[in-house]
Amino acid sequence: MYMKLGIFILVFALYFHEKTSVFAQSTDNPIVIELSATSFTIERPFTISIIVRDSETRPTIAFPAIAGFVKQGTSYSSSRSEFGGREVVSQVVVQTYAATQPGTFRLAPFTVTVDGQTVRSPGAQLIVRPSTTAATSTSALSATALAKAKTDKRTAFLQTTVNYTRLYTGQGLHVRVSFYVAENYPYELRFDRLAQQVELLTRQLRPVNAWEENDNISELRPRPTLLNGQRYVEYPVYSATFFPLATRTGLPRTITLPAVSLRVSRLSPTPVQPTGPGSQTGRAATASSPQADEVAFTSEPVQVMVQPLPGRSGQTGAVSVGSFRLIDEADRSRVGVGQSVRYDIRIEGQGNIASIQAPQLVNVGDGLDVFPPQSQEQIGRVGAAVSGYKSFRYFLIPKQKGPVALANRFFWVYFDPQIGRYDTLRPRLVLRVGEATDSLATGIVPSDTLDQAGRPSIYAGLEQTDSAEQSVNWPVLVRAIANVLIIIMILGTLFVFARK
């Protein structure tokens, strides 16, 4: 009897232990190797990404050399996520390669070792298609190109760009700092201490008396670009949109974006050529790894002229600048006297969404009570534009019969920089107010059951509630029944073993 009871307990314990082990193993995948697209045009880079999960320290990765490719740079980033009630930090290391000529190449199988753990990649076949642009394709490994790249400073440079050099107060000024590397650049670059450098760069570029919408670039994502007929790989380092605020003087002013620097570790690896007569397919070879030297790349300063809004010198705080439209809606357009109407006004478009003020009211109290609104906003960023919407929810109570044109009660003024003048937006909705009806029967909240903010009170319809009717808490009841059944099953099992 005791032996059978012990076997039962052992099987029971092993069952839950196996479940726990499987669950733990499903999350144990610390190192992942990701390859970018294996078929691409020559102006696009190829990348190998190493993701090390649950690691606080930055790993050192020895990336393989690829025949027919040149290493262009290594970027480091980290991401944080929550798993199993704890914070997990993942390290991401991305190595960028640039093809020297079109053709078919072979990435040989390789291994990556981090903290004693080794992960193997089966490699891949890389298909490099000719360029679709009219730019002349030259070999980045020729002696002429190498000599030119070493003397031409424009093969790698840091640049600050803006969308406007002259704009209005409150208009969006998009600032972007990017690091460009030409495909014939003969060095391998490593971006060390990038987070600290970007933080310093941000403090230097942030203008005074301006609202900031930061794009929060957390990792370097290379993307191909064409400048003056030459192919580059662009690494966006910093991107933000600033909205200059009005000054007390109301006079034009100049925003100066100073020169900023980015320090990069530079190596000169020996390029690897394809092997085999008349073939572009070869095995990966080992490149030399001399000691890295740190180089500072500095951008040019940029000046932007900010002019005040016309006719509103020193009084532009309540006027938004951009391109907007107004959308309004109500839960119903026909309502009785003294009944509440939920009314929403949404202002959407491009500009400083966060600074949008509520529409102005006129003819307040003239046959219509308006409660203070509740606001909600959503902001998005696409390229250099900041767009979104801000909505305002009102509760209205008409006090007399007849049509109520809300265009005569609400309006919103903004400045359109594209046409250089002010514009006024008004709602289109018209309320049809009739005789009061039995609002509780029709689901309408009467005015005497609203709180001070115009929201329906929790006591609305309390007098119609039957206090003798008891509610049933179904989740609690089901949980209690399940507990009782489990206890009965355990006692029954113990009784059966005891009888045997």
Mean pLDDT score, 343-361:
91
Mean pLDDT is lowest, of 90-94, 276-280, 417-421, 483-487, for 276-280
Question: Quick one: what percent of the chain has pLDDT higher than 70?
Answer: 73
Q: Would you state the torsion angle of the CA atoms of residues 196, 198, 200, 203, taken in this order, to the nearest 10 degrees?
A: -140
Q: What is the pLDDT of residue 96?
A: 81
pLDDT for 56: 73
- Judged against a pLDDT cut of 60, whether residue 282 lies above it is answered with no
In the chain, the amino acid numbered 25 is Q
Distance CA 193, CA 238 (A): 15
Does residue 88 share a domain with residue 150? no
**Over residues 227-256, mean pLDDT:** 86
pLDDT level of residue 291 (50, 70, 90 thresholds): low
**What percent of the chain stands above pLDDT 90?**
24
Is pLDDT of 146 > 90? no
Q: What pLDDT sits at residue 16?
A: 41
End residue of a domain, out of 279, 307, 335: 307
Residue 194 confidence (pLDDT) = 84
CA distances from 100 to 123, 129, 141, 151, 154 (A): 19, 11, 7, 20, 19
- Decide if 486 is inside a domain: no
Give the pLDDT confidence score for residue 461 in this predicted structure: 52
The pLDDT value given to residue 310: 86
pLDDT at 268: 66
Residue 20 falls inside a structural domain: no
Structurally, how many domains does the chain consist of?
Answer: 3
For strands 320-330 and 410-416, give the pairing: parallel
Does a structural domain hold residue 2? no
In a domain, 334, yes or no: yes
Q: How confident is the model at residue 262 (pLDDT cuts 50, 70, 90)?
A: very high
**139/195: higher pLDDT:** 195
The stretch 258-276 carries a mean pLDDT of 70
Neighbours of 260 (CB within 10 A): 23
- Other CB atoms within 10 A of residue 195 CB: 12
User: Is pLDDT at 142 greater than 50 in this prediction?
Assistant: no
Q: Specify if 357 maps to a domain.
A: yes
Domain stop point among 456, 472, 491: 456
Give the model's confidence band at 358: pLDDT under 50 very low, under 70 low, under 90 confident, else very high. very high
Choosing from 82, 102, 129, the residue where a domain stops is: 129
Is 202 domain-assigned?
A: yes
Residue 286 or residue 174, greater confidence: 174
The answer to whether residue 285 scores a pLDDT higher than 50 is no
Could you tell me which residues are beta bridge partners of residue 224?
Answer: 233
Average pLDDT score over the chain: 76
Q: Specify whether 154 is located in the same domain as 301.
A: yes
From 60, 339, 363, 43, select the one nearest 183 (Cα to Cα).
43
Same domain, 88 and 150: no
On whether both 292 and 325 belong to a single domain, the answer is: no
Q: Are residues 303 and 192 part of one domain? A: yes
**Please, which residues have CB within 8 angstroms of residue 183's CB and are 6 or more apart in sequence?**
43, 70, 72, 98, 140, 231, 232, 233
Lowest pLDDT segment from 15-24, 306-315, 411-420, 436-445:
15-24
Same domain, 329 and 428: yes
Q: How confident is the model at residue 187 (pLDDT cuts 50, 70, 90)?
A: confident
Question: Which pLDDT score, from 0 to 100, does residue 81 have?
Answer: 64
- Identify the domain containing residue 169 by its residue range: 146-307
Residues 250 and 288 in one domain: yes
Tell whether 115 and 170 lie within a shared domain.
Answer: no
- Residue 306: pLDDT over 80: yes
pLDDT at 259: 93
Position 328 scores a pLDDT of: 93
Instruction: Please give the residue that has the higher pLDDT: either 122 or 145.
Output: 122
Is residue 139 over pLDDT 50?
no
Alpha carbon 251 to chain centroid, angstroms: 36
Is 161 exposed, middle or buried (CB count within 10 Å of its CB: 0-12, 13-18, 19+)?
middle
446 plus 354 within the same structural domain: yes
Measured between alpha carbons, how far is 56 from 454 in angstroms, rounded to an integer? 51
**Residue 464, in any domain of the structure:** no
What pLDDT score was predicted for residue 24? 36
Q: Does one domain contain both 168 and 250?
A: yes
Residue that is written with structure tokens 């933000």 in the block: 240
More confident residue, 274 or 248: 248
Indicate the pTM of the whole model. Answer: 0.57
Find the mean pLDDT for residues 11-16: 44
**Structural contact between residues 347 and 455, judged by C-beta atoms closer than 8 angstroms:** no
Q: What is the CATH number of the domain that holds 382?
A: 2.60.40
Q: What is the pLDDT of residue 138?
A: 32
Q: Average pLDDT in the 168-186 region? A: 89
Tell me, what's the pLDDT at 50?
87
pLDDT in tens, 460-500: 554 455 555 556 778 888 888 999 999 999 988 888 888 76
What mean pLDDT do residues 69-76 have? Answer: 74
Residue 15, pLDDT score: 44
3-state SS class at 387 = strand
Residue 344 lies in a domain: yes
Q: What pLDDT was estimated at residue 192?
A: 80
112 and 195, same domain (yes or no): no
237 and 366 within one domain = no
